[in-house]
């Protein structure tokens, strides 16, 4: 019976909440009986009980009088929601950004986990008396069995536009359980500020004391549905030109290949050999806008023998060839790869490439990196040259992104 009475009292209070616009913003009004109680919230959403009605009595006394919980659940939910947003880390490519909305003179905060590479990471910040920024992998079987060797750059700056960041020089550290990285800054940061960590490389620490290998890229072959034996046979056909029946003339050399493999890999090549074109008559293909090395990488992709490091080295040339010869899966692989390592040195070039070849995911990633993550200030004078050469429609999209990100709150 008591529980039902409690529920009715809570329902009566909620029904009396004003919804006429006075409750917008940071002030909330609640009518209890004939009294109107105003609740004041700070920037973090934490309720105070210091403001009452005309008699000066606080809001808490009214809640206690009616047997209701204080602070009210709806305000506690709002506070919890803001705290969750304050701990979230946004990531794109190899960059992680933590926006801290409220930080007092003596405070400690820890981020939610965020994934870069094969590890989940955390950032934490503490003021006592210096600003200590901590980076560490989340404790898990992966981080315990495979310690990461991280090469990274840390930046911290006020959230106001154009503020000069504090930048830590490039670090390369072995991180793991009980082996965090700590950066102490003798500077004053409070209120809203941003912490960036950009991973330049991640390696797995070898357990036997051997060489640490980078996970970007790994020295393996690209995934293929063909069995390994078939891959080896196709690789031999290419390397040894076994029964080769077509010659490819590049900008500086020739390579032997097979019409059947080329036709199965590209509808454009298939069309060359189906119709009475010079390629069919002479069994030669002229590809003079590609180097022999890039052409060899393209053929290795066709024959299932392309290694990841070779792919990364020639991916821009491969993207051009994939667009020219209508090779959709290669074009998708190039786009995914170019999206993985965006940084302030290549983001404008990647944006131009994305526009040229209509790579929507890459274009979105570049715009997000520049504007949502505020890296437009890091590109320096290059942005002026970019605007002089950029397509007008691309410039319009960039301007719309600016309006979306920097719209008044």
Tell me: the pLDDT tens digits for 84-93?
557 889 999 8
Which class for 13: exposed (0-12), middle (13-18), buried (19 or more C-beta within 10 A)?
middle
Q: pLDDT digits over 38-52, tens only?
A: 444 443 333 434 334
- Least Cα distance to 260 among 234, 278, 222 occurs for 234
Cα gap 60→116, rounded to integer Å:
45
User: What element of type H or E holds 136?
Assistant: strand 131-137
pLDDT at res. 335:
95
Q: Where is pLDDT greater, at 22 or 198? A: 198
The better pLDDT of the pair 220, 9 is held by: 9
Read off the DSSP letter of residue 375.
G
Give the pLDDT mean for 113-129: 90
Task: List beta partners, residue 121.
Answer: 114, 137
Contact 121, 113 (CB under 8 A): yes
pLDDT band at residue 136 under the 50/70/90 scheme: very high
pLDDT of residue 1: 54
* Phi, psi dihedral angles at 51 (to 5 degrees): -110, 130
Alpha carbons 93 and 116: distance in angstroms, whole number = 8
310 alpha-carbon distance from chain centroid: 24
For residue 298, what pLDDT is reported? Answer: 96
What's the pLDDT score for residue 7? 64
Q: Of 137, 124, 155, 153, which Cα lies nearest the Cα of 204? A: 137
- Percent of the chain at pLDDT > 90 equals 40
Scan for tokens 């080329």, then name that residue.
262
Mean pLDDT of all residues belonging to the chain = 78
User: Which pLDDT value is given to residue 9?
Assistant: 57
Q: 165-169, 333-337, 390-394: which range is least confident on average?
A: 390-394
Distance of CA 397 to the CA centre of its chain: 20
339-397 tens-digit pLDDT: 999 998 999 999 999 989 999 999 999 989 988 888 888 887 788 788 777 777 877 88
Tell me what pLDDT residue 25 has: 42
Q: What is the pTM of this model?
A: 0.64
CA-angle at 177, arms to 176 and 180, nearest 5°? 65
The domains of the chain, with CATH numbers, are: 2-81 (no CATH), 88-214 (2.60.210.10), 226-325 (3.30.710.10), 342-409 (1.25.40)
pLDDT in the model for residue 70: 56
Higher pLDDT, 374 or 11: 374
Residue 37: predicted pLDDT: 44
Please answer whether residues 42 and 55 qualify as being in contact, where contact means their C-beta atoms are separated by less than 8 angstroms: no
162-188 burial by CB neighbour count: b if 16+ within 10 A, else e? eeebbebeeeeeebbeeeebebebeee
Spell out the long-range contacts of 398-402 with Cβ–Cβ below 8 A and sequence spacing 24 or more: 398/367, 398/370, 398/371, 401/367, 401/370, 401/371, 402/371
Tokens of 357: 């070849």
């Amino acid at each position: 019976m008591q529980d039902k009475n409690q529920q009715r009292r809570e329902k009566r209070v909620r029904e009396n909440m004003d919804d006429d616009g006075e409750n917008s913003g940071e002030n909330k009004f609640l009518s209890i009986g004939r009294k109107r109680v105003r609740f004041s919230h700070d920037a973090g959403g934490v309720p105070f009980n210091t403001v009452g009605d005309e008699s000066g009595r606080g809001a808490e006394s009214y809640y206690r009088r009616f047997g209701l919980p204080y602070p009210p659940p709806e305000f506690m939910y709002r506070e919890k929601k803001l705290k969750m947003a304050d701990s979230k880390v946004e990531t794109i490519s190899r960059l992680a950004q933590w926006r801290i909305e409220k930080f007092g003179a003596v405070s400690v905060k820890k981020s939610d986990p965020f994934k870069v590479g094969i590890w989940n990471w955390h950032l934490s910040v503490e003021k006592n008396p210096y600003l200590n920024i901590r980076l560490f992998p989340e404790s898990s079987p992966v981080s315990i069995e495979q310690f990461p060797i991280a090469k990274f750059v840390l930046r911290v700056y006020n959230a106001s536009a154009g503020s000069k960041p504090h930048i830590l020089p490039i670090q390369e550290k072995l991180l793991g359980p009980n082996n965090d990285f700590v950066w102490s800054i003798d500077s004053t940061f409070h209120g809203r500020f941003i912490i960036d960590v950009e991973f330049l490389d991640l390696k797995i620490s070898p357990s036997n004391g051997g060489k640490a290998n980078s996970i970007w890229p790994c020295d393996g072959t690209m995934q293929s549905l063909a069995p390994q034996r078939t891959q080896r046979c196709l690789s031999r056909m290419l390397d040894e030109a076994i029964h080769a029946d077509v010659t490819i003339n590049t900008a500086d050399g020739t390579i032997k290949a097979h019409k059947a493999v080329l036709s199965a890999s590209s509808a454009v090549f298939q069309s060359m050999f189906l119709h009475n074109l010079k390629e069919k008559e002479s069994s030669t293909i002229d590809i003079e806008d590609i180097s022999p090395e890039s052409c060899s990488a393209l053929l290795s992709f066709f024959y299932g023998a392309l290694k990841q490091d070779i792919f990364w080295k020639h991916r821009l040339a491969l993207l051009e060839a994939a667009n020219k010869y209508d090779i959709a899966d290669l074009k998708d692989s190039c786009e995914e790869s170019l999206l993985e390592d965006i940084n302030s040195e290549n983001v404008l070039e990647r944006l131009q490439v994305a526009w040229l070849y209509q790579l929507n995911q890459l274009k979105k990633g570049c715009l997000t990196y520049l504007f949502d993550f505020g890296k437009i200030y890091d590109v320096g004078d290059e942005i002026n040259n970019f605007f002089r050469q950029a397509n007008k429609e691309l410039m319009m999209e960039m301007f719309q992104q600016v309006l979306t990100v920097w719209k008044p709150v």
